[in-house]
């Protein structure tokens, strides 16, 4: 089966049962296939302008993938197989934070980089894939599938489209889960939606939990990689729009390490439990 078909299957399975085993198996299969494809491509070192991080890109003909953090991407097939097994059988939750981080990074980046070279789908495809991956993780762990809307009081038969909303019932936390490959200007939407949710349901009813892959930007001409960070804007959004409970990064920028709520993805399982 071709990656594009699997992507369609993933969307179908995700709509039926996001936390289910069919989604998990498709994520594993798509990662294996993407990884196999990337191994046939050339690996190009990039010029890192980010302290203590080095990056590569995959290249095929005149096409080049996005920047891949060399320390987080699992390139060895045997190590990948072991990581995917742990992801598939659920034992990943008990791995160390670095292992969790590298596995989730590779699950995301294999498909994204393959899509850059192979054009499985349009620009939106990698973002949607990542949303399914993170949505699956939460759904599986929390034992409940999400909605993507909230009802609006006082408006008959009306709902507001949102990112994932997880409702766990009485005495347990609910979650509002925006998922982004990187933030840039659009991220203000996550805080604005949290504000609407807080306004309708009261603050702390839904924990806002933003999950981001990385803030990496590759200049295709110079092959330089930078991280684009706006810590001041984030503090302003947290203070004046709404408070997000957590911002999980798969590849956390060092400049965000001091911001309240920012955590590496490796602690996710512990925090959800």
Name the segment binding a second copy (CB under 8 A); options: 66-74, 92-100, 124-132, 193-201. 193-201
Q: Is the Cβ–Cβ distance between 146 and 164 less than 8 Å?
A: yes
Q: Rule CB under 8 A: is residue 191 a binding residue for a second copy? A: yes
Q: Which of 91, 158, 205, 222 binds a second copy (CB under 8 A)?
A: 158
- Nearest approach, Cβ of residue 235 and a second copy (Å): 7
Q: Which of 52, 76, 89, 155 binds a second copy (CB under 8 A)?
A: 155
Beta-ladder partners of 207: 175
Measured between alpha carbons, how far is residue 127 from residues 16, 146, 273 in Å? 19, 18, 26
- Nearest approach, Cβ of residue 199 and a second copy (Å): 3
Q: Which of 45, 90, 143, 199 binds a second copy (CB under 8 A)?
A: 199
Burial level of 175, CB count in 10 A (0-12/13-18/19+)?
Answer: buried
Q: Which of 52, 185, 258, 273 binds a second copy (CB under 8 A)?
A: 185
Nearest CA among 251, 194, 245, 208 for reference residue 228 = 251
For residues 221 and 242, what is the distance between their CA atoms, to the nearest angstrom?
A: 39
How far apart are the two ends of the chain, measured CA to CA in Å? 36
Q: Which of 11, 141, 147, 195 binds a second copy (CB under 8 A)?
A: 195
Interacting residues with a second copy between 59 and 78 (CB under 8 A): none
Q: Rule CB under 8 A: is residue 192 a binding residue for a second copy? A: yes
Q: Is the Cβ–Cβ distance between 168 and 204 less than 8 Å?
A: no
Name the segment binding a second copy (CB under 8 A); options: 20-28, 35-43, 67-75, 238-246. 238-246
Q: Rule CB under 8 A: is residue 9 a binding residue for a second copy? A: no
Residue 109: CB atoms within 10 A of its CB come to 30
- Nearest approach, Cβ of residue 197 and a second copy (Å): 9
Q: Rule CB under 8 A: is residue 81 a binding residue for a second copy? A: no
Q: Which of 241, 259, 267, 272 binds a second copy (CB under 8 A)?
A: 241
Q: Is the Cβ–Cβ distance between 215 and 228 less than 8 Å?
A: yes
Q: Is the Cβ–Cβ distance between 215 and 166 less than 8 Å?
A: no
Measured between alpha carbons, how far is residue 224 from residues 48, 62, 71, 231 in Å? 6, 17, 17, 22
Interacting residues with a second copy between 113 and 152 (CB under 8 A): 152
For residues 195 and 202, what is the distance between their CA atoms, to the nearest angstrom?
A: 9
Q: Rule CB under 8 A: is residue 233 a binding residue for a second copy? A: yes
Which of 173, 196 has the CB closer to a second copy?
196
- Look up residue 119 and give its two tokens: 């054009």
Q: Is the Cβ–Cβ distance between 178 and 248 less than 8 Å?
A: no
Which of 83, 238 has the CB closer to a second copy?
238
- Nearest approach, Cβ of residue 62 and a second copy (Å): 21
Residues that bind a second copy (CB under 8 A): 152, 155, 158, 160-161, 185-186, 188-189, 191-193, 195-196, 199-200, 232-233, 235-237, 239-241
């Amino acid at each position: 089966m071709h990656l594009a078909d699997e992507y369609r299957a993933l969307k179908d399975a995700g709509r039926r049962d996001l936390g289910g085993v069919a989604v998990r198996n498709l994520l594993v299969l798509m990662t294996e296939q993407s990884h196999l494809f990337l191994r046939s491509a050339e690996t190009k070192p990039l010029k890192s302008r980010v302290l203590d991080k080095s990056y590569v890109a995959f290249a095929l003909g005149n096409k080049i993938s996005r920047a891949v953090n060399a320390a987080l991407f699992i390139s060895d097939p045997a190590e990948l197989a072991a990581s995917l097994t742990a992801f598939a059988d659920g034992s990943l939750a008990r791995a160390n934070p670095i292992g969790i981080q590298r596995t989730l990074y590779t699950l995301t980046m294999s498909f994204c980089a393959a899509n850059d070279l192979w054009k499985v789908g349009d620009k939106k495809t990698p973002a949607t894939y990542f949303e399914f991956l993170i949505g699956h993780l939460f759904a599986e762990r929390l034992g409940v599938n999400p909605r993507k809307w909230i009802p609006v009081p006082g408006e008959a038969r009306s709902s507001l489209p949102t990112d994932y909303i997880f409702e766990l019932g009485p005495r347990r936390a609910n979650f509002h889960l925006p998922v982004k490959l990187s933030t840039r200007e659009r991220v203000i939407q996550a805080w604005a939606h949290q504000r609407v949710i807080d306004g309708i349901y009261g603050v702390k009813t839904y924990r806002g939990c933003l999950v981001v892959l990385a803030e990496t930007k590759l200049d295709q001409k110079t092959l330089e990689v930078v991280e684009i960070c706006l810590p001041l804007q984030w503090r302003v959004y947290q203070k004046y729009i709404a408070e997000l409970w957590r911002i999980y990064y798969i590849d956390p920028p060092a400049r965000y390490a001091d911001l309240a709520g920012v955590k590496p993805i490796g602690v996710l399982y512990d925090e959800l439990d």
